[in-house]
Amino acid sequence: MDQDRRPGPVIIILLILLSIGALSCSESIVSECDTSTAVLPMRASFAEIEQQVFAQSCATPGCHGGNRPQAGLDLSGTGAYDALVGVQSRTDPGRTLVSAGAPDESVLLRTLRRSSTPFMPPAGPLPSAVVDSIAVWVSSGALRN
């Protein structure tokens, strides 16, 4: 008994549709395939960090904004830089929130990288490219730019 081993027309159509879907994803992975809210790559400047990270993920009521910011750290408004750079941590005694020029010593980066508690943001990690941009800003002297 010789059976025909060629795929039927339904199988061929399914394979074509799957191939088209895979090709369209590979051209624009973030916009078409990733349904999570992606933070776009940013420059390593404090203004960008404020706008892209703090305003969206941190400086909200109940977190690091509003009337009673967590750990006394208010990241909303114009005082965010002075609240971070060179300031001792309340949750990690003996460490500085942002140590200019020393990203590995900065509590901010340790919590964003989830190597030190509390993990920030609590809802889930930021994209690694964003954390890397913050690390570059700290490495470059944590300028008020």
Q: Residue 89 to residues 12, 94, 97, 109: CA-CA distances in angstroms?
A: 61, 7, 5, 12
Rounded to whole angstroms, how far apart are CA atoms 86 and 44?
18
Q: Bridge-partner residues for 96, per DSSP?
A: 88, 106
Rounded to whole angstroms, how far apart are CA atoms 80 and 59?
9
pLDDT per residue as tens digits for the range 54-67: 999 999 888 999 99
Positions in the chain short of pLDDT 70: 1-41
pTM exceeds 0.85: no
